[in-house]
Structure 1
Amino acid sequence: MDDTRMAVIGWRCATCGAEVPVATPLAFRCPNATATDRCHVLQIVSGPRVDPPERQPNTFATDDQNLAWAAFADAHGMDRARRNELVEELDAAIRVVDDAGFVATPFARSAFLSDELGLSARGGIWVKDETGGVGGSQKARFLFSILLHLRAAQELGLLAERPPLAIASCGNAALAAAILAKAADWPLDVYVPTWMSDGFGDRLDELGARVHRSERRNDDPAGDPAMLRFRDAVAEGSVPFTVQGPENGLCLDGGRTLGWEVCEQAAAAGIAQIDRVFIQVGGGAFAAAVGAAMNDVCGPAPLFAVQTEGCAPFERAWRRSEGIEHPAENWAQIMTVWDDPSSLADGILDDETYDWVGVLEAVRSSGGRPVIATEEQVREAHALAHRAGFEASPTGTAGLAGVLAARTEIGDDEQIVVVMSGVTR
């Protein structure tokens, strides 16, 4: 094993092919993306994965040589010892705010869910439980890689000031962003819809975030008004501290740690092959990052992208892209805004799947497909998960709703992976 090699080489836009060196500071978006042409996304270009020499207490320290933020810091002379120190310093500050850090989260077979769904003792429902992670969800993993890049750039003298961080969210992503920003003592603006609950707003206020309720303006184009105001802030100099790859490709970097953990934990549990992985899809970064990571390590574990009948822009894009070899080149025609999204799983009501290109690649390459869950299945999955002991929101149990929707095609001996993520707020 090469103990010094960094796996990540750079970035390439899935749409136009533009390449960005890994040493580039603040390389968040494709250089060819504009305010009127946002149909670009930087994707990680990587060589063979580096097997971690040993598991560290912090999962980001464990996979240092496979992460883009670390390759950026390495390219500017920051050695692994200092990178690990930076990870641990931020992790310790986060624990003061949230009492949770970036450790490997639990992965285990749920006997209750396996029995309830009629799987045999040879198969089962394996749950990756993110509800005990930072902010109670997987979202902080995506944001931590951005924060690490910023702190490294600052220490290396490549970021003279601390511009405000900005995010559009009124759920788990906003909470994770507020926790990380407070821990790093970095200003954060959160752009939220007008219907956000006052209670959740109070929670963001307590963490020091500046909350902006975003009304629709007469001249607004189609799309989420909070996202539009977020983009205005970024255009004025804020850092896109977000979980949408087209807005900041670095978020996809940290999200991969979840997929790597699943592969390692599945192997340790004696699972020779994962038969299906069900991931809930809103903006899509979650499925794109986990799918790519698992394809690299576990082999082609079929990825099933779960949406609800009240909001399924990815499933529609999947059908539209059939037979098209390079769908990203037809982005504007394939991924369009979903009118009037609605579901109990309100955290995946993104009216467009921003990271649909990455999700499509992961689903296609793994032999999976989209799954549409009915509202009845969303409610049933939420109730089942709680009876099994997982205190997750309807959004966080939506992957299980996908299993219910696809149950008739699943063999009783299959090994099924779902992620519980997002504590009930």
Structure 2
Amino acid sequence: MSLRCLVIVLLSFPQAFHAQVLAQSTAESCPAPRLDGGFFVPEQGTYSHRSGLAYACNHGWKPVVEGWWATTVCLNGSWSHMPQCIGENSCLPPDVPNAKYTQSAPGWYQEGQLIRVKCDQGYEHTTWEAIATCAKGTWSTLPVCQRSKSSCDEPPKMAHAVIVLHKYQQVFAADSEVHFECEEGYSVQGDNTRKSIFCFAGSWTQAPNCIRTQIVGHDSDMSGSVTKPAADTIPERGSGRGSPAGGSTVTDAGSATTSGSSSSSSSTPLKVPVDNCGAYPRLSNGDVVRKRDMSLKYACNSFYKRVGPEIVVCYDDGTWSKVPTCKEAFCEVDLDQYANYNIQESGTIILKDRESREVPCVWRYYTSRILCTQGSVSVTKCCHYQDHYYQRCS
């Protein structure tokens, strides 16, 4: 009965059975590896595909993997790892989460060898220790990398936009910059708008909104006439009723009028409630932070400085007063350009204008101070942190 069932199975799956037999017959076998200071079980001249080989080392030696004995497998002519015996006082690669460390070409470390542990971006050392030593087959106290309080989670969802990342990650280091792109049919206002957000003090900076690109005569929601977003710079009375900053305005009847024209004969325009001017002027890298009946108060996002008036009012002819602009007020520092300063960290950091930061150097208790002044970066040499405190470093 069993034989009959086996025949039925083989006849039912002739192609799969033939493929499996063919794969086994064409797979390469492995020659017996050479092992100094140890022995194999079993000892053979060759080993077939998927055969396992156990080995152990003589007194004073140990396998190149964890354990007092090890197993390797023949996989199509190659061993899953080459059997090797190393000195019992040598160290295997350590397990340091959220970090990278000095790699050894042989794959193991001799007694007395040092490694330097560098935390991944978004993580920091719990102590000043960044060095570990191989001693008698084990590592000295390994540095620990914990998540930095100033790091950020993944960026928040943005309406009508997508975040552009080269690789997915859950933690972003402080001062990380993330770019985004608006979906088709949407854009941010202004030609020089920076399409990015920054991780600052554990939170992401506010991003400019992606708004629908509107063209005259293509939107029925505004009586057949709308205005395409224009530049941020606004003359004293250069924006029309309900229009974004700058450019020409469009009346309810759809006829364009010249920016800055006024229906009032008075040389001094009258202020009226802000709702009389329609949509509020948009500000790249900034927004309205306070609305009153007769005025709007503007402020810029982090890392930007306001240039121009803080208060914007509405005139009786439907135009807005001059709107401020937001100017970049930060330094983007590439630490890799200062490798000769012996700075331990790498990557890019963002500093606000007049902000300074001390970064650790490769020597314990030594730091370097980086200062941002009106877009210019200055970096001091590595010196003892107390010298920084007493301002004896330059």
* TM-score, normalised with respect to structure 1: 0.20
Larger radius of gyration: 2
Which structure is higher in helix share?
1
Per chain length, whose mean CA-contact separation is higher, i.e. which structure has more relative contact order (CA < 8 Å, sep 6+)? 1
